[in-house]
Structure 1
């Protein structure tokens, strides 16, 4: 309190002085009565604009001192480069220096790379400890293969590996395969095939890299707007096309890691693209069908939680010669027989041979409940109700998952149909 009272009672005086720049302006200066020096002003009471000006002046003074150390005091004949402060720069230049960096959405739309791009992780190729081969897996595999020969599926005529046959140039074949795989995510084969045809017509009849680079985004979006996540896939297609041109010599790359560096491309697409585009076999393409069916067959102990775990397990014990065909085989099997919901176990030979641990059968009840309605003055109406029930063909062993647990592996029926 004493210090505050002393400060408040301290006497200052105001001295007027005529401005040297303008005679009509009078300047006032506060001086201490003790020694005539100006009273110090607390830093906190100085406005923010004045404090920033002081800091800028201090920085500029330090720059001048540094230049004098490098270039001397001017007697050497070497002059430092001209400086332009922010206050002296033209208004247009000050705006350009203050311009913000593009946002993430703007970078996606324009294809501008990030200032600090994330490093892509290498795709894991093998397990440290191989998964043991399931019992009677070959018998199960051959049974599925025999059924697939009798039951055609949409993947046989509209799968991603069929897109290349509508192109003639080898590069266009590989590019069409890649685009088809990018569109197939969360989309059925029938919808993917139709969207690919519309995109090919919109680009002039040929699905090639140059046509995609020149096309406007709205043109691509209108052609593929029936597939899942079509807005995001439109951006991915444009960005992937630019990256193929700038990094991969306008062609589809030949390694899994390079393919996964493309926007919208994951491990499943990468392995399938190498199979169909380059005839390179380095792994298994696992989608929701392969993930669901192999877990229903209990080929994984414990059950796998995602397609990547399924892929690593399968690759550790399944012979390499089956890696290319297993995706096509099980996708078709999952489309027509081993459905995500209400699988057709009544036509599956694995149920008859009792080698499927998740087999079910539909037993139609003979008794029918009927009710007759005869509204007054109207026709007679009969309603028949046929009861059905689902049973598990095989007994559950101790510690084995129940049928409900196996059914929990079933994905959404509108999920990926690649």
Structure 2
């Protein structure tokens, strides 16, 4: 039997060589060709000394902290819940007018308390708040209607300039991309992402204001301390699951208005006191 198998191997080798010679190619051992043509895929961290894939960084206790903040925000009775930007526009207005009102309320809200923004928007809406009505309004009247929002004189100028651009370039509507929105006078990244969310129902990024910026640093939700809201946005988007991006602004703004205050935070009332790196413990 051994001799028979050896004979069969010799016949197979001879046939292979013959085929190779007929096709005009040198006779090459089959194993050698296979090694050249078959790519071997290694799992991360296996074979050839490949480095193991590092897990994505995420903050310690963040899921538990988030769940406790949700619990503290369950009553939805912060100023942002009752007078935030998403409460300032006319829901019965045509979609184009509604989107314009959302953008204007965002422009007014910068450096301004929600209560003041809401009152200014109400006065504007009582005059009929549309692109055309604002373009026909003189600066003095517009100033009186939005006063005392923060930097109201600058905002009169920005609102007039932006409204003219919307009329000329977008047919009275607002842009539908962050890139175009931030090109408008008086519109920053936070406003652009909120406008995408509220006006266009599109999650383009995390809207980071002073509350989100402050709380993210206190909870160590950033790898290293950030100085500006835009730095915080980039840091958060690097690890926070995208399905939480829409919620996080509303959640942290209200939490910052009621509990995690800029000065003298109410740590004793906070459910995260035992797992907050910045908590003032008794």
Alignment partners' CA distance in 2, 1:272 and 1:280: 9
Alignment partners' CA distance in 2, 1:249 and 1:293: 39
For the 8 Å contact 2:88–2:122, the answer to whether it is kept is no
| Residue 74 (structure 2) pairs with residue 149 (structure 1) | yes
Q: Which has the higher strand share?
A: 1
Q: CA deviation at 1:169?
A: 1.2
Listed one character per residue, the Cα deviations across residues 154-208 of structure 1 (whole Å, up to 9, x for unaligned) are 000100111224542111111111000000010000011011111222x2xx311
Listed one character per residue, the Cα deviations across residues 17-39 of structure 1 (whole Å, up to 9, x for unaligned) are xxxxxxxxxxxxxxxxxxxxxxx
Q: Flag structure 1 segments of 5+ consecutive residues without an equivalent.
A: 1-129, 362-390, 392-418
Which structure has more RCO (C-alpha within 8 Å, separation ≥ 6)? 2
For the 8 Å contact 1:163–1:173, the answer to whether it is kept is no
Paired residue total:
228
Cα RMSD (Å) of the superposition?
1.4
Change (3 A) 1:240 1:133: same
Q: Which has the higher helix share?
A: 2
2:163 aligned partner: 241
Alignment partners' CA distance in 2, 1:300 and 1:131: 13
Q: CA deviation at 1:224?
A: 0.8
1:186 equivalent among 111, 114, 120: 111
Alignment partners' CA distance in 1, 2:77 and 2:131: 33
Listed one character per residue, the Cα deviations across residues 226-273 of structure 1 (whole Å, up to 9, x for unaligned) are 101000000110100000011112101100010011100000000000
Listed one character per residue, the Cα deviations across residues 117-147 of structure 1 (whole Å, up to 9, x for unaligned) are xxxxxxxxxxxxx972112211111110110
Q: Give structure 1 regions of 4+ aligned residues with deviation exceeding 4 angstroms.
A: none
Q: CA deviation at 1:320?
A: 0.8
Aligned counterparts, 1:21-100, within 5 A: none
Q: Flag structure 2 segments of 5+ consecutive residues without an equivalent.
A: 1-54
| Residue 209 (structure 2) pairs with residue 298 (structure 1) | no
Alignment partners' CA distance in 1, 2:150 and 2:79: 18
Mean alpha-carbon deviation: is it higher for 253-262 or for 167-176?
A: 167-176
| Residue 280 (structure 2) pairs with residue 360 (structure 1) | yes
1:266 equivalent among 170, 175, 188: 188
Change (3 A) 1:151 1:158: closer
Alignment partners' CA distance in 1, 2:219 and 2:73: 17
For the 8 Å contact 2:215–2:252, the answer to whether it is kept is yes
Alignment partners' CA distance in 2, 1:150 and 1:183: 26
Q: CA deviation at 1:344?
A: 1.0
Task: With the length of structure 1 as denominator, give the TM-score of the two structures.
Answer: 0.53
Q: Secondary structure at the match of 1:226?
A: coil
1:224 aligned partner: 146
Listed one character per residue, the Cα deviations across residues 34-72 of structure 1 (whole Å, up to 9, x for unaligned) are xxxxxxxxxxxxxxxxxxxxxxxxxxxxxxxxxxxxxxx
